[in-house]
Structure 1
Amino acid sequence: MADIRSRPPVMRLTEAAAARVRSLMERSDSKGAGLRVGIKNGGCAGMEYTMEFAEEAGRFDEVIEDKGARVLIDPKAILYLLGTEMDYKTDKMSAQFVFNNPNQTSACGCGESVAITPATSEAGLSGSASAGA
């Protein structure tokens, strides 16, 4: 019989990100399954992080439950988000989710779009990008 190995989560949340996700879900009109995070083509660097409320988990969504928050990872984004830490930062002028993604290779000057390479065994790059919320 083969040993079943537990695998690390695709993404982890800081306490600040988990608190913000919990707050957003509590205030949402829908008491859905969680906050879905994904990646789409766009922006000057080539890709953008996406976030939306999810009514239910998709068949192939990766479900992350961390610090009392539930985040669903779009299956098309899994390889791009492997090893990512999701944080939430506030300052005098803004409040936003920040993705510390080891697969990110560059970002545009405004920070709204990123270049991300799918994770491989050689992925060891570090980077971060933000998404307002």
Structure 2
Amino acid sequence: MSIQVTERAADHIRRSVDRHQDSIGLRLGVRTSGCSGFMYTVDYADRVDDGDTVFEQHGVKVVVDGKSLPFLEGIELDFVREGINERFAFRNPNVTAECGCGESFSI
């Protein structure tokens, strides 16, 4: 199983984690929500729990829980700036549909 992190995303994660005490990296997951079924969750990872998988690239760690991992297989996590807005971009090869607002997806 793999998750790819671009250098831009790694730079953003590194800066964010450096400002958040006790964080070891980024926690990435999915939860049931929205009109298409699932949405991504992003938070600070303060620890690695049983059942978590840790991916390390470009000097940053991304922690994924076991339930989310099948939905995130092969995803590329990027960080994009569009004008004054900036956000994580998820390029997930497993997605079969997305809602119009881009907040949720289905697999």
| TM-score using structure 1 length | 0.76
Question: How far apart are residue 10 of structure 1 and its match?
Answer: 2.1
Q: Which residue of 2 aligns with 1:32?
A: 23
Contact 1:10–1:78, Cα closer than 8 Å, also in 2: no
Q: Which residue of 2 aligns with 1:94?
A: 85
Q: Which secondary structure state, in structure 2, belongs to the residue aligned with residue 51 of structure 1?
A: strand
> Which one has more relative contact order, counting CA pairs under 8 Å at least 6 apart?
2
Q: For structure 2, which runs of at least 5 residues remain unmatched after alignment?
A: none
Cα distance between partner residues in 2 of 1:43 and 1:56 = 28
1:75 and 2:86 matched = no
Cα distance between partner residues in 2 of 1:50 and 1:33 = 17
Q: Which residue of 2 aligns with 1:109?
A: 100
Question: How far apart are residue 93 of structure 1 and its match?
Answer: 4.0
Q: Which residue of 1 aligns with 2:50?
A: 59
AA partner of residue 77 (structure 2) = M
Q: Which residue of 2 aligns with 1:123?
A: none
AA partner of residue 54 (structure 2) = V
List structure 1 runs of 4+ shifted beyond 4 angstroms: none
Percentage of identical aligned residues? 37
Q: Which residue of 2 aligns with 1:20?
A: 12
Contact 1:41–1:48, Cα closer than 8 Å, also in 2: yes
AA partner of residue 86 (structure 1) = L
Contact 1:104–1:114, Cα closer than 8 Å, also in 2: yes
Q: Which secondary structure state, in structure 1, belongs to the residue aligned with residue 12 of structure 2?
A: helix
Q: Which residue of 2 aligns with 1:11?
A: 3
Question: How far apart are residue 33 of structure 1 and its match?
Answer: 2.2
Cα distance between partner residues in 1 of 2:57 and 2:45 = 17
Cα distance between partner residues in 1 of 2:78 and 2:11 = 10
